[in-house]
Chain A
């Protein structure tokens, strides 16, 4: 249940960002979460809903973009098909992860006076 500590880190950052810009409230929090980032989006939403009460995020919608894992050949032979060993079938090089491990705060929509 590290989703709680991720939400805690998220709130610390949001509070700083809101304060710096003189925001009175947050309307939307946009995250990008990778498929193999190790974050359960349902648990993250639950943790967010618990934490946001009485905070600047009380009325903020959590918008999560889920990013599929994508592995490619570092030698330029293209994507590795899902469900295959993580090695290039053409040149046997170990695959490189291009996307899917991100836990990123993409955007905040702040309410400013």
Chain B
């Protein structure tokens, strides 16, 4: 008997499910996360709009980590609609990189990342950067198994972007405000206003102002990564200790 719509149709069976629609993706993400944890790899999901500077951040990170003797411990899976350009740029900077060509898909999902891992020697890495497709909407919806979400936002994109894309910024553990070397040409852009807008959508707002041209913020970003690695190692250690 249908008690859902009151039609009285005896052939209608209401089935209560209350399941997450993306449960299959969530399972793949958990699987990726277990892999990363088992091998002590810190996975960072790097998101941002097209041209926000994601690939440039990875190039600068590669150089900075190389200067610390850590270049060999960094790898990149680069989501790209149609080309290998981003992975090629990162490889040219000296770090291991593979592309995930998504075709028309506007985001990476956990299964695509899992398949990408099969082509990358990721188990010996300290940091795996997953460079998502340039898009401030869709990538935020899919868990990939990452330890942290980092969102690149360039100063040229405007102060209001956090308010327009709350889903993306809510999920960010860190925002990298890029291309700050352009600020002298952009008198209308107020960095404090961007930080205030982030605090409306991020419960723990964290932002580093960065320019790969001037080197501003690179040290702070590398310190943030080291801190993330340390906190994960401590967390894993305490979990092992508790067992």
Contact = CB atoms under 8 A, between A and B. Distances in A.
A97 B19 contact: no
Contact of A27 (B12, B18, B166, B203): B12
A13 interface: yes
B170 A36 contact: yes
Nearest to A31: B21
A28 B199 contact: no
B14 A109 contact: yes
A38 B141 contact: yes
B29 interface: no
A101 to B, nearest CB: 8
Interface string A90-113: 000011110001111111111111
Interface string A7-37: 0011011000100010100011001000011
A104 B22 CA distance: 8
B115 interface: no
Contacts of A87: 199, 203
B85 interface: no
A86 interface: yes
B167 A86 contact: no
Interface residues of A, number: 41
Given A86-B199, A109-B12, A9 B106 contact: no
A9 B25 contact: yes
A85 interface: yes
B4 A110 contact: no
Given A10-B21, A109-B13, 19 more contacts: A1-B106, A5-B107, A6-B22, A9-B23, A12-B24, A23-B13, A38-B141, A85-B196, A86-B199, A86-B200, A95-B203, A103-B22, A105-B19, A105-B20, A107-B14, A108-B15, A109-B5, A109-B15, A110-B12
A9 B19 CA distance: 12
Contacts of B24: 9, 12-13
Question: At the interface, is chain B mostly helix, strand, loop or mixed?
Answer: mixed
A83 interface: yes
B15 A111 contact: no
A39 interface: yes
Contacts of B67: none
Most buried by B among A2, A104, A105: A2
B214 interface: no
Contacts of A111: 9, 11-13
A57 to B, nearest CB: 14
Interface in B145-178: 166-168, 170
Given A2-B107, A104-B18, A86 B201 contact: yes
B138 A17 contact: no
B138 to A, nearest CB: 4
Given A9-B24, A109-B2, A39 B14 contact: no
B17 to A, nearest CB: 5
Nearest to B16: A107
A2 B138 contact: yes
Given A38-B167, A113-B11, A103 B21 contact: yes
A107 B201 CA distance: 31
